[in-house]
Amino acid sequence: MNNPTLINNLRSVPDFPIKGINFRDVTTLYKNPECLKIIEEEIYELYKDKWITKVVGIESRWFVIGAILARKLNAWFVLCRKLWKLPAETIQESYEKEYWKDTIEIHKDAINENDIVLLHDDLLATWGTMKATYDLVKKFNPKNIYINFIIEITDEGLHWRDIFPKDTEITTLMKL
């Protein structure tokens, strides 16, 4: 898709969070109403006929687009949060991140076996958080799980998609 408006409004931050990393900052897309509209419309077109019942947004930047998508798809919005941020009983998944270990959780009553779930994240560059979210949602045994990213980093030698089951549909709006 690589919409030129999105690419032109995406900020790159060199040497963040560590030297040698060129961080792709989506906050510049979120603050621009035209970019938000493009993101909403492009993702909606990808999933409007998939019968999505739940959209999972991962803490915390991903709540922005996740909630917009849920409303647009007439689906429920599910928060996937860091440990001890949700008030009721949860199901958890721990995982290794690029720089440390972390745990995420979803309310125990948030997803069921009749749901078709869309997981949304901003960036497919390092796999830890989305893979943990996928594994966590899989514990609920939904009918299907789709994955969407705004950006996919496609540097030579990186095979991020390979960590997910081959039959998992993964879409991205931009490949950089």
Total H helices, total E strands in the chain: 5, 9
Q: According to the model, what pLDDT value does residue 148 have?
A: 93
Q: Is-catalytic flag, 98?
A: yes
Confidence of residue 176 (pLDDT cuts 50, 70, 90): confident
Residues 24-47 have a mean pLDDT of 94
Catalytic-labelled residue, pool 98, 113, 161, 169: 98
**Residues paired with 77 in a beta bridge:** 55
What is the percent of the chain where pLDDT is above 70?
Answer: 95
Q: What is the C-alpha separation between 67 and 4, in angstroms, rounded? A: 24
Instruction: Please report the DSSP string for 40-93 in residue order.
Output: HHHHHHHHTTTT--EEEEETTTTHHHHHHHHHHHT-EEEEEEETT-SSS-EEEE
For the stretch 113-169, pLDDT in tens is: 999 999 988 887 666 788 999 999 999 999 999 999 898 887 766 667 778 889 999
Per residue in 51-79, pLDDT (tens digit) is: 999 999 988 777 888 999 999 999 999 99
Among candidate residues 40, 59, 61, 161, the one labeled active-site is 61
Domains observed in the chain: 50-175 (3.40.50.2020)
